[in-house]
Structure formats: C-alpha cells, structure tokens
Amino acid sequence: MHKRVLVTGGAGFIGSHLCERLLARGDEVLCVDNFFTGTRANVAHLLGHPMFELMRHDVTFPLYVEVDEIYNLACPASPIHYQFDPVQTTKTSVHGAINMLGLAKRVRAKILQASTSEVYGDPGVHPQPEGYWGNVNPIGPRSCYDEGKRCAETLFFDYWRQHRVRIKVARIFNTYGPRMHPNDGRVVSNFIVQALKGEPITIYGEGLQTRSFCFVDDLVEGLMRLMATEDAVTGPVNLGNPGEFTMLQLAEAVIELTGSASQLQFLPLPQDDPRQRQPDIAKAAAELGWAPTVPLREGLKRTIDYFDALLSAGRAQAIAAD
C-alpha cells in the first residue's frame, strides 16, 4: 500500500530527487517549499503526476496535513544562502523542527531530519563518527546553520524521549549532482560553472582542505533506507562518501572533465572553514546496508552535463532570479 509522504524543502536540490524516487516507488508525495533556494523548475516535470502535489509554505509556520512519513529537508544549505538571512536560517532549523515534530506527533507519522556534517564543525577527530560531539563556534558567521541544525537534533531526540515520536536523523555530508543551484557558492557548483565559463577557478587558502563528495542518487538511497528502518533505529547516521579529496584535486578533475582553460585563483580562507571533512559510514553500512556507489568522476560528468545544458539554455540566470 502506498504511503502519503511530506517532503519539506521538496523543490530543492536533494528534495526534488527524493520526490522523484518516492513517486517512482508508488507513494503519494506532498512537496512543500517556500522557494527561497528551491525552484519550481526542479519539480516542473513532476507537476502532471497524479500522485504529486506542490504547496508553497514556510515551515516556520505550522502545517496541518495528514501524512504517514515526513522528510524534513527545509533549510538553505550553502553558506551564501544561509548567511543571507541568518536569523531566518536559525528559525527555519529550530521553528521548522518544532512544527514538523508537532505534526508528526499529531498524526503519528515517522519523521526524518536532514541534519548535516556541519554539526561536527572544524573537527578534531578524523574521520568523523556519530559519537563525536563536534567543534563548533557558537557565535561565528556559520553558527546560524551549524547551531540551528544541532538544536534541531536536540529537539528530535527530546520529542523521541518525551513523546515517543518515531524519529530518524541523517547527518548529510557534501552532496552534489544535477539541480544544484548555480549560484549556491558550494565548491562543486562553483568550480563547474567557473570552468564552463572559462573564468578563474577560485580556491580558498592553499586548496589543501579536504571534503568528501557524495552523489545525490546515493544520498537519496541512504535517506530512504534510514526511513525504512525499525523504530529502534533513530540515528544519527552519517550519510556521505568517505572518499577524501583536496580542493586542488577537485579543481584539477573539473578542469580535465570540462576541457576548460580556466586558471586557478587563490583567495583568503573564510572564517571557520573546516580543514577536513570525511564521514565514518560504518554505522550506515551496519544499520542500513548502505554505501555510496557512484565514483567522483562519474558523478562530476553527470553534474557537468547538467550545468552545461543549463548555461547553454540561459536558464542559470532564470533560476538565480527565481
């Protein structure tokens, strides 16, 4: 029997891919988004689907619907977007979590929180296991997102302990793929767009800081597997690709795959930028039977094709203005 599933932030990069997968499985999907960073273009191809519904709504306000499962993905996730209105970013994480948990409690739905590797801050442990409490600056320019997500996790576990709400918490590491926002300021989209335009590729610091890049299809599979687990499995569970690459290595791969003549441009390192980020995914392997399968070069090719088509059609400007 199909489920009625609510996806907040469903018109965003990850959310739109999740909506697709849920529909393909036969579920009824209610996609909720306020279109701050999500775009209608991401779900335009789903609007004619008889099991898909799109609702404009901000999760900082209560929502009254009947659903079986909730994926709470609503929150700007790139520094450029979450620092644009930091107070609203914190409200989205905290008030949004309270409202969605309240909904889950009322209708007895299972609810998954899309948390983030940013809860680990600039980690003193490498790679980062779920038991590591993190090294986060509570008053820095990234705090609206980092601490907002940490507080959301607190709320989820308190609702679980106090009200027995069935929760799942996923800590998402760097994810990339088609439908990333072209101006989101994240490294994969930055490098690809700059390379395709023949502009200098901007690298912060010496480019030796590392990240781990998970292709969006792998990430969505992990989210759905986590939601499908028994109630005793709450997380938090790291979801990401443990392959670790420096910014220089990523830039070189993008230049090679695009055939670009772009040169590297080195800029000062932003405040509180983590030096290392790599997930320990032993828990995901053990509890979900999950591991990423898409190699970085293959995922980059598919992402480059998306941005190439976007730029060729002049749609990047339209999306940026949406």
159 a catalytic residue: no
Query: Average pLDDT of the chain?
Result: 93
| pTM, entire model | 0.93
Candidates 120, 145, 159, 176; catalytic one: 145
- What is the span of the domain harbouring residue 39? 4-246+253-321
Q: Which pLDDT belongs to residue 264?
A: 95
pLDDT in tens, 227-274: 999 999 999 999 999 999 999 999 999 999 999 999 999 998 877 677
Give the domain CATH number at 77.
Answer: 3.40.50.720
Q: For 51-181, where are the E strands, in sequence order?
A: 52-56, 69-72, 110-116, 167-172, 175-176
Q: Are 76 and 36 in contact (CB under 8 A)?
A: yes
pLDDT for the residue 10? 98
**Which residue is associated with the tokens 């969505």?**
220
pLDDT tens digit sequence for 103-156 = 999 999 999 999 999 999 988 999 999 999 999 999 999 999 899 999 999 999
Dist CA 143 CA 15 (whole Å): 23
What is the pLDDT, as a whole number, of residue 46? 98
pLDDT given at position 1:
77
Assigned token pair, 242:
């443990």
Residue 315 pLDDT > 80, yes or no?
no
The pLDDT assigned to 313 comes to 83
The total number of structural domains that make up the chain = 1
Alpha-carbon distance of 317 to 236, in angstroms, equals: 37
